[in-house]
A and B are shown apart, each in its own frame.
Chain A
Amino acid sequence: MESTYDYDDTVKHQQQQTDLGYDPNFVPDSVKSFVVHLYRHIREKNVYEIHQMYEGSFQTLSDRMFKESPWPSVDAISQYVDQDHVFCLLYREMWFRHLYARLSPTLKQRIDSWDNYCSLFSVVLHGVVNMQLPNQWLWDMVDEFVYQFQSFCQYRAKMKNKTEQEIALLKQFDQAWNVYGVLNFLQALVEKSQIIQILDQEKEGLEQFTATDGYDYNGGSNVLKVLGYFSMVGLLRVHCLLGDYQTGLKCLLPIDISQQGVYTSVIGSHITTIYHYGFANLMLRRYTDAIREFNKILLYIYKTKQYHQKSPQYEQILKKNEQMYALLALCLSLCPQVKLVEETVNSQLREKYGEKMIRMQRHDEEAFALYDELFSYACPKFITPSPPILEEPLVNYNQDAYRLQLKLFLYEVKQQQSLAGVRTFLKVYSTISVGKLATYMEVDEPTLRTILMTYKHKTHAIDPDGKVISTADVDFFLDDDMIRVIESKPAKQYGDYFLRQIVKLEGVMTDMDRIRLE
């Protein structure tokens, strides 16, 4: 079709074919059918069908035909979908996501993907979108957005082997994946959707959101609201990547993680939320909060992972599962509150990290190496948000952020070094004099006093309301020279037992009633 193209276009077209090794304009029939049907389902707001196609058909086609090449370009398929602007943005988002997952994006592609997100989010923020999309898709958008930002920062920080074209492009498109842009988009989605107010009003029964899983049954769109909701998790994640754990947790506050919610409607969102929540609490020294949440989610994954075996997220689920066991091991080594951990989770933990945890309690050189190992394995991929200095000499600084967080974490571990020793003795004695304990621990008395005070300080955290909470498994107080260990009798939980028996009894009575009526 020479007549429809310029000479330049033809050359470029042929060039592309040889460069890329595939033809971006070739649309196989299955793809044509895919976009036509998806487009129709979106127009008809058939969320169930959209979800089937999004989770199912897209993956199947990707596996079958696009294992090593991208999907056809958006320009090639737009003719089958009435050139619909919004559909094209959605298609492109999936296109880039596929690219990142299966192939390696070039710098130009990274920049183009950023542009696409800008357009897509702008459309949503203007409130002109009238679709209902499955939560899985909406979560994936936010998740991918943050992931591509993280990936870009990592890529950008490896300056050593950058070509001249790459450096020129970086200079030219310095707004792409700019940290301000990323954060402001997420913040804008939260604000424009008014999701925080919606969640507040829901508590008073004035709104329905969680009850409908975020879907709008009044003919409206769920897209802005749910994107706003997931953006709160997105903000938590970005702040963790920057090392600002306090603000990250603040961004998550409107979501009540002690309950089910829209965040649990998608397993990826559930895991990401709890993983980052737990990690942030670990760095904030709120060990018991982290342990509780890790325990819950690890138990949940244990029970439900078989149902996700076929899903494209399965690998990610397993990876995060392993990382959270490592984080749990870290938390428990610093704050041995084993009774907070459920039986199943505990046995899994022992299997994976039992031996290492014993060695970590010794707080010697080997122990620090283990703390280092587990932290490095399980931590998020921290980023340096500032743009590189594009002058000689070019260095790689992509590890800087991670090294800082690791260093500060190990610093904290070191400060708690003496506590393990104290714990051992406190478990054995009910009273012991400062002098005697000092002798056993081979330190002088003043040093022992500081160790005891350190123990108290480190095991008494400040909760978000400013109250002092004890996280000590074994506690004591000092009466001048005598250390008196505080007996902690585990509180007998009668209430639970009685409730269970009541339910059982009522069940039996109901059964008996039934018998009589027959």
Chain B
Amino acid sequence: MGREQPQQQAQPPSQMSYTVEQLVALNPYNPDILPDLENYVNEQVSSQTYSLDANLCLLRLYQFEPERMSTQIVARILVKALMAMPAPDFSLCLFLIPERVQMEEQFKTLIILSHYLETARFRQFWDEAAKSRHIVEVVPGFEQAIQAYAIHVLSLTYQKVPRPVLAEVANSGWILEKVHGRGHQLIVLPRNEFNHPEVKKSAGESVPLDHITHVRLTYAPAMPATL
């Protein structure tokens, strides 16, 4: 299977997204930009892009004016945030969503899905996601994004991972099929500093140059500098 294209492919920024990003940077505390931000969420979904800042901005505006909140948009934001794992974006969004909204069915499901991912319970995650297709399949690229996260966690943890574990974590029956008849096989994961301690660049000490020059200057010696 190899590594799928991770996360969302960056599309060339459309005219609208350029303007929205500007709005978020320059004039974020403005109730008038709410519709633009909502449209931007939909654009992120359809063009497989992502902007945490814009989405947080929208969630804030919903906080300021709860009667304008669209739970559908919030659900999409949360799915996008889930796809951004291992970044903690999902929690960041939850901090801004009122508790009574979080009690609604679709949000409870999303929170459970997030919980499974945070605690690496991938089998339970894929089971639950299969039951909640209507929530997660609204956002294209969902499966690939979660698979990328799963691979990330695996490569932090394992040098060599048993195939069945990999298959379960990445939800890919493809792997198990190939294995059939060849018995238990190990996949070697790419080397990085987290599963191969020797690869880790030496913590090495850095003595900043200005510390040394400071010493020399403070105690300017009587003898001429020979450096």
Contacts and interface: CB of A to CB of B under 8 A. Distances in A.
- Report the contact-size class of chain B (Cβ under 8 Å from the partner): 35 or more
A385 interface: yes
A244 B64 CA distance: 13
Interface string A246-268: 11001000000000000000000
Contacts of A453: 120, 153-154, 156-157
A243 B123 CA distance: 32
Contacts of A184: 29-30
A452 B157 contact: yes
B215 A506 contact: yes
Interface string B68-79: 000000000000
Given A408-B94, A408-B95, A491-B204, A180 B86 contact: no
A377 to B, nearest CB: 19
B158 A478 contact: yes
Given A449-B165, A457-B153, A242 B96 contact: yes
Interface string B185-215: 0100000001111000011111100011001
Contacts of A452: 157
Interface stretch (B9-17, B39-47, B52-60, B136-144): B52-60
A405 B207 contact: no
Contact of B99 (A247, A385, A403): A403
B127 interface: no
B158 A243 contact: no
B106 interface: no
A503 interface: yes
Interface stretch (A26-34, A112-120, A492-500): A492-500
Nearest to B156: A456
A480 B156 contact: no
B95 A385 contact: no
A506 B88 contact: no
B120 A454 contact: yes
A244 B215 CA distance: 44
B227 interface: no
Interface in A457-493: 457-458, 460, 462, 466, 468, 470, 475, 477-480, 486-487, 491, 493
B161 interface: yes
Interface in B112-132: 115, 118-123
A244 B61 CA distance: 12
Interface in A404-421: 404-405, 407-408, 412, 415
A495 B207 contact: yes
Contacts of B121: 450
Contacts of B115: 415
Nearest to B97: A404
Interface stretch (A154-162, A307-315, A507-515): A507-515
B221 A477 contact: no
Given A243-B96, A400-B99, A450-B119, A460 B86 contact: yes
A496 B205 CA distance: 9
Contacts of A385: 63-64
B21 to A, nearest CB: 13
A242 B30 CA distance: 16
A503 B213 CA distance: 12
> Interface centre among A400, A408, A496, by most B CB within 10 Å?
A408
Nearest to B123: A446
B109 to A, nearest CB: 16
A247 B29 contact: no
A477 B64 contact: no
A9 to B, nearest CB: 41
A187 B222 CA distance: 54
A179 interface: yes
A242 B60 contact: yes
Contacts, number: 151
A441 interface: no
B104 interface: no
Nearest to B26: A191
B177 interface: no
Nearest to B192: A468
A452 B31 CA distance: 45
A454 B219 contact: no
B179 interface: no
B119 A470 contact: no
A283 interface: yes
Contacts of A285: 88, 91
Nearest to A495: B207
A507 B222 CA distance: 12
B157 A477 contact: yes
Contact of B56 (A246, A405, A449, A462): A246
B98 A404 contact: yes
A446 B165 CA distance: 9
A506 to B, nearest CB: 4
A411 to B, nearest CB: 8
A460 B120 contact: no
Nearest to A286: B88
B219 A284 contact: no
B225 to A, nearest CB: 13
A412 B91 contact: yes
A131 to B, nearest CB: 28
Interface string A308-343: 000000000000000000000000000000000000
A407 B219 contact: no
Contacts of A478: 157-161, 195
Nearest to B154: A453
Contact of B95 (A405, A451, A470): A405
A184 B87 CA distance: 29
Given A400-B99, A462-B87, A480 B64 contact: no
A386 B156 CA distance: 43
Given A184-B29, A470-B194, A479-B160, 19 more contacts: A179-B29, A247-B56, A283-B91, A385-B63, A404-B95, A453-B157, A456-B157, A456-B194, A460-B194, A462-B87, A462-B88, A477-B197, A480-B161, A495-B205, A495-B206, A495-B207, A499-B211, A506-B221, A509-B221
27 contacts: A187-B29, A244-B95, A246-B52, A247-B60, A284-B88, A385-B63, A407-B99, A446-B123, A449-B165, A450-B122, A453-B120, A454-B119, A454-B120, A456-B156, A460-B194, A462-B86, A468-B86, A468-B156, A477-B195, A477-B197, A480-B161, A480-B162, A480-B186, A491-B203, A491-B204, A496-B207, A499-B207
Interface of A: 179-180, 183-184, 187, 242-247, 250, 283-285, 385-386, 400, 403-405, 407-408, 412, 415, 446, 449-454, 456-458, 460, 462, 466, 468, 470, 475, 477-480, 486-487, 491, 493-496, 499, 502-503, 506-507, 509-510, 513
